[in-house]
A and B are shown apart, each in its own frame.
Chain A
């Protein structure tokens, strides 16, 4: 430390410049202690049968993973639900968000207020969204069933209480929040499109659809990629809505909540860690994909 303080003026001789490292010292230390090290510690825990109480976890190798993939029904349920979530997330909000962005990209009176309406769910916390949608889905007095009864449906479904529908009901609430987000990203992407491309195509006599299909959409490809990656990561992280709306009951278990239950409810910390590692591994595929794009951009730069 004393040596570090001694550095006065940049020396002419080639030597390591410590200045950036000094700037990075505190951030990296914090990051290492709270993010990097814990990640590796969880990977270690996943190879143990730690119960949260014993001082020393017992090493069991890949046993936890073996059980997850061969014997655990809830795990496959959770995995399937995460896949459902993921598929819906990369299709519906992306399409809807793009459509809305295309509409709002044109100058229009009051456009701002319409836009605000669509992205306002984004500022709500997920517990709030869970509560509000819980009310919408309420089987007796809720908005949805009240409406269905009014139009003559005699026994409307129980939504969150229905094993077939519950997970979709939760996903819809999540989609509701996501659409505005996607719209904002697409709007920004559209603003970055060089108008000369569009004009050139128009001069060539392209109609609106052709313009969209062959000019705008390809130009938006980088944005679309990012949106898909974000959607995938978000769908893997899904926890709050399930925790608030169904607690994983009624066939709505997802990996994140299942991990919480196994780790804290059943004191199977090692097993919970294994679930987290599976989640991490799936994410890693997409993080890697995303990172490779960032790296490519960097090297071009």
Chain B
């Protein structure tokens, strides 16, 4: 695993050079046909949802899904955005996700720095504890965290979600950042130490800037994870006005139970933020995934 984890810069080497030859050309064409068919089948659920979101339920229930659409409408999106309050849910998702991201990156860079740069007795035990924590089933935390948020008056607040996400994801972030920071050569810091820089300055002014690529990758990945959380949102929140979009979507099914076009429209809107992040930061996202593979 660490063979994957130790490097962030994707090596430019390719396993096999493209092979030439006439027989190969047909093979290529066949491969493309095969892949295209496979891709379409693979994406069919999404394509179906997409098409459905522009149609009316009346038409679908009368003519069936596979009929030729008679008319396209944008009203489902309008309805999902306004009546189904997806706009508000999306806002909540950001209010939860962004601080949690900042919190987990900051705190885990502190712990990663300590674990990567210093030799001390508890170094490895603490590191292993973080690594083990990344794989914990959430259920083991459910009841105590529920009680804890109650006792601290954090229940039914965004802060509760921000804290639990920060705490839970810290293990993974520490794991990744620690391994990244170990690749930074110690000589850089020796020079700074001679200049009289404090430990914190070295951390803040040298290590953090150097770690930014790894952090960007982590942030991209963690964004989707935290944004897509459902379990904690339904456990720790009770007001509809506070719910993130994942928990809000479940409500759609209740409010528009037979109106699938509105439901699929809402689901598609809900996916937009992570999709945009994914499209624009794809390289980071993939890097993040492969960085630790510990998730």
Contacts and interface: CB of A to CB of B under 8 A. Distances in A.
Contact of B135 (A128, A239, A277, A283): A283
Contacts of B229: 125
Interface stretch (A64-72, A85-93, A158-166, A225-233): A225-233
Interface string B125-137: 0111111110111
Given A24-B114, A31-B167, A269-B143, A128 B270 contact: yes
B142 A141 contact: no
Nearest to B263: A131
Contact of B136 (A28, A39, A275): A39
Contacts of A106: 14-16, 18
A207 to B, nearest CB: 13
B230 to A, nearest CB: 5
Q: Which 9 A-B pairs have the closest CB atoms?
A: A125-B228, A38-B144, A34-B167, A23-B114, A188-B290, A20-B118, A20-B114, A27-B111, A276-B139
Contacts of B44: 136, 143
Given A31-B129, A124-B228, A125-B246, 15 more contacts: A19-B114, A23-B199, A24-B126, A31-B133, A36-B133, A135-B49, A185-B4, A188-B286, A229-B135, A233-B135, A256-B139, A260-B139, A273-B143, A295-B124, A298-B124
Interface of B: 1-4, 7, 10-11, 13-18, 28, 31-32, 35, 39, 42-46, 48-49, 52, 60-61, 64-66, 107-108, 110-111, 113-115, 117-118, 120, 123-124, 126-133, 135-145, 148, 163-164, 166-168, 170-171, 174, 199, 203, 224, 227-231, 245-247, 249-250, 252-253, 260, 263-264, 267, 270-271, 274-275, 277-278, 282, 285-286, 289-290, 293-295
A227 B293 CA distance: 8
B243 to A, nearest CB: 11
Interface of A: 16-17, 19-21, 23-24, 26-28, 30-31, 33-39, 41-42, 45, 103, 105-108, 110, 114, 116-118, 120-128, 131-136, 138, 140-143, 146-147, 149-150, 176, 181, 184-185, 188-193, 195, 198, 216, 222-223, 225-227, 229-230, 233, 236-237, 239-240, 243-244, 255-256, 259-260, 263, 269, 272-273, 275-277, 279-280, 283, 286-287, 290-291, 293-295, 297-298
A216 B16 CA distance: 12
A8 B28 CA distance: 67
A65 to B, nearest CB: 15
The listed residue with most B CB atoms (<10 A of its CB), out of A30, A229, A236, is: A30
Nearest to B61: A141
18 contacts: A19-B199, A24-B110, A27-B174, A30-B107, A34-B163, A106-B14, A124-B228, A125-B249, A132-B264, A142-B65, A185-B289, A188-B289, A188-B293, A255-B139, A260-B139, A283-B137, A294-B2, A297-B2
A34 B164 contact: yes
The listed residue with most B CB atoms (<10 A of its CB), out of A117, A125, A260, A293, is: A125
A33 to B, nearest CB: 8
Contacts of A286: 135
A27 B39 contact: no
Contacts of B28: 108
A150 B86 CA distance: 35
Contacts of A294: 1-2, 128, 131
Nearest to B48: A143
Contact of B46 (A35, A120, A126, A244): A120
A167 B224 CA distance: 26
A226 B137 contact: no
